[in-house]
Amino acid sequence: MIKLLLVEDDANLCYIIRGGLEDMIGGYEVMTASNGEEGLKIWKEQHLDIIISDIEMPVMDGYEMVRRIRETDGFIPIVFTSGRVSPKDVVKGYELGVNNYIKKPFLAEELDAHIGALLKMKRGMGAANESEIYRIGENYTFDAVHAVLKHSSCVQKTMTEREAKLLQMLCKKKNELVRRDIILSRLWDTEDDFLHHVVSMFLLLDLENCLLMMNGYR
């Protein structure tokens, strides 16, 4: 069963898409939201497989919703649907982290084909990165695929995409020196931004593990 969030302010269109996916095609559980703010709430509460969203909506548009999601989740596939898709709109969406666009109107079968392709790609990426789980000291496990840092007490924290890349870089270079200029050139534009994220990340770890990691950071 594919757990899908449909963010669409047109109630009639929402009803048609939901019916097409759940009743005509099958294999879908569709949750709906009428704007980006409602969409964010459902995304936080549910374990979703994919998000399909309109762009122009009241309260919060699709762009802002995607921007907030991508601050902590760089993995869930997101598809924009719109009747007016200009090159400028497309570029803006992809820069924010959207995976695909579908121009309205569209058939349920067309949407299903896009969803199938994206989920297949996601599964392939997940299989290729199954081994990217790292032990940090005695108490922490870092899941690089899902950007999640887990403590042995079962407490876990979802990291931003950039913080996850930094921690993965340090894990791969365990017991090796990692130069600051190399990290900056790959992940950050400014020194201040870099230091802010490093401090935020290390605050998630206890002192012992922090020192173990910092031992390889110069």
Which of the 8 DSSP states describes residue 195?
H
* 82 and 176 inside one domain: no
* 147 and 56 inside one domain: no
* 120 and 145 inside one domain: no
**Angle formed by the axes of helices 87-96 and 62-70, nearest 10°:** 30
Q: Would you mind telling me the total number of residues written for the chain in this entry? A: 218
Does pTM top 0.75 for this prediction? no
* 87 and 184 inside one domain: no
**Half-sphere exposure in the Cβ direction for 196 (13 Å, CA):** 8
- The per-residue pLDDT for 208 is 43
- The per-residue pLDDT for 213 is 47
In total, how many domains does the chain have?
2
**pLDDT at residue 123 tops 70:** yes
| Sign (positive or negative) of CA dihedral 62, 67, 73, 78 | positive
- Express as a percent the part of the chain with pLDDT over 70: 80
* 25 and 69 inside one domain: yes
Q: What is the CATH number of the domain that holds 205?
A: 1.10.10.10
Question: Rounded to an integer, what distance in angstroms lies between the CA atom of residue 104 and that of residue 64?
Answer: 20
**pLDDT at residue 51 tops 90:** yes
- Interacting residues of 115 by C-beta distance below 8 A, sequence separation 6+: 2, 4, 50, 52, 77, 79
- Residues of the domain holding 164: 133-214
Extended beta strands in the chain, E state: 2-7, 28-33, 50-54, 78-82, 100-103, 133-136, 140-143, 148-151, 156-158
Question: Rounded to an integer, what distance in angstroms lies between the CA atom of residue 107 and that of residue 131?
Answer: 38
